[in-house]
Amino acid sequence: MNSLKRRLSIGLTFTLSLLILLQWALITLVIERVTETQLLERLENESEGLLASVEVNPDGSFYLSSLRLSSLYQRPFSGHYYVVCSVASCKQSRSLWDESLKIEQLSSGQKIQSLLNGPNEERLFSLQRGYFKQGHSLTIMVGQNISELEEDIFQFQMLYSLVSAIGLFVLLLIQWLIVGKALQPLQHIQQQLSRLRRGETEAIEAQGPEEIQPMVEELNRLLKTMTRKTHRSRAALGNLAHALKTRLTLLNQTAESSELKGMPETQNALHQVSQHMEQIIERELKRARLLGASMPGKKVDLEQEIAEISRTLQLLYRDKSPIIDWEIEAGLLFFGDREDLLEMLGNLLENACKWCRKRINIHVYQNQYCCFVVEDDGQGCDESKMSQLPQRGFRADESVPGSGLGLAIVSDIVESYGGEIRFSQSSMGGLKVEVRLLLTV
């Protein structure tokens, strides 16, 4: 799942990194250009000064006036060097000592700048220019050691990189805080939705930003509409069931009338049709209750509800007086529709009361599921028939009255919660039913 905060952070990180990298490259280029321009200007001045100190003899030989030469050219390996060449000879600065630099003859006006390897492995930035003086061609090369200058530039680049990295980290931290602050309303809305699902509230109360608030308002309107429709649907189904059951009662009374006593086949047909219609009505009413799972859940006190269901069933099966024991994990609440819970547990416990000898155990716990385990000490069920128990209308023992809808309804409820139902042999001797509901609370 894509995270909006992560996508914003990655995008801004990439943008800031690219911006700082471009800035670093631009500043480095500017420093190099400025340094090179200053060096060229200085070397050109030095070259002009050397040209002024050159005196050319009529035979083409020349000499340099020491009065016009800088003392830097007199100190060995000072980092400042020159070479002056004519067609006949070359002279170089004392600072080169026994080293020499190769140059090429240039015609007047030509200029070459380059990097050379100087004495003692020095890096030289050199300028060669061609001149014409007193009827003779001269080539003057002036060089300066830039090793220290390059080291200074490298140190500046490293320092600037460190400062940029720290600045980038600070900017990313600030933008992470800003994005987190901006997305806090969404987290609040998410918490409200969780509370809504758990039944702790009936509407989303969070106030979001202008871009989100219309969605929150639409969700609240949708919730109100769904609640009204669900209530109307359940009321309509209840009215319909009452009306149909009244008509079925009249139909059964008609079947028992004196006029039809002499027509047993007709009576049986009417009874069968009436019973079948009653099963259909009951089934659809049970399925209609499943609508509750799509609405916001309500917290249900499991211990209280199980106790009430147990007391009711003990009254219904007074002749058997079943002993119903339950064990519920401390503090466990059911987050879902109460009608679903009562329908599911009612059918499971009624089925257990019908088939048990005396005892029924209920165990409710929660891990990643909300689990209900119901066991009885009855005769159990043949393993070959266990897979058919959730099938609608299936009855393991036709001799016992029933519609075969109870476990089918339980299966529908479990399926609506994304859970599963399992049947197995109980250690008590009867049937063990384990229901696991996938709930996020």
Q: What is the tens place of the pLDDT at every residue in 159-194?
A: 988 998 898 889 888 888 888 888 777 778 777 777
CA distances from 301 to 4, 196, 304, 352 (A): 38, 17, 6, 22
pLDDT at residue 366 in the model = 86
| Alpha-carbon gap, residue 52 to 84, rounded angstroms | 12
Contact 113, 137 (CB under 8 A): no
Q: Find the farthest-apart pair of alpha carbons in the chain and give their distance in angstroms, rounded.
A: 160
Apex CA 386: angle with CA 365 and CA 404, to 5°?
A: 95
Fold assignment, 298-441: Heat Shock Protein 90 (3.30.565)
Sheet strand arrangement including 111-117: 90-92, 80-85, 136-145, 123-133, 111-117
Handedness of CA 211, 216, 221, 223 (dihedral sign): positive
CATH number 3.30.450 is the correct assignment for the domain at 4-150: yes
Report the pLDDT value the prediction gives residue 321, as an integer from 0 to 100. 86
Residue-level pLDDT at 295:
47
List the domain boundaries for the chain: 4-150, 216-296, 298-441
Nearest to 321 by CA among 332, 309, 310: 310
Segments of the chain scoring below 50 in pLDDT: 1, 290-296, 396, 398-399, 401-402, 440-441
Under 8 Å between Cβ of 168 and 21: no
Q: Quick one: DSSP state of residue 102?
A: -
pLDDT the model gives residue 294: 45
Distance CA 79, CA 72 (A): 8
68 and 52 Cβ atoms separated by less than 8 Å: yes
> What DSSP string runs through 129-187?
EEEEETTEEEEEEEEEE-HHHHHHHHHHHHHHHHHHHHHHHHHHHHHHHHHHHHHHHHH
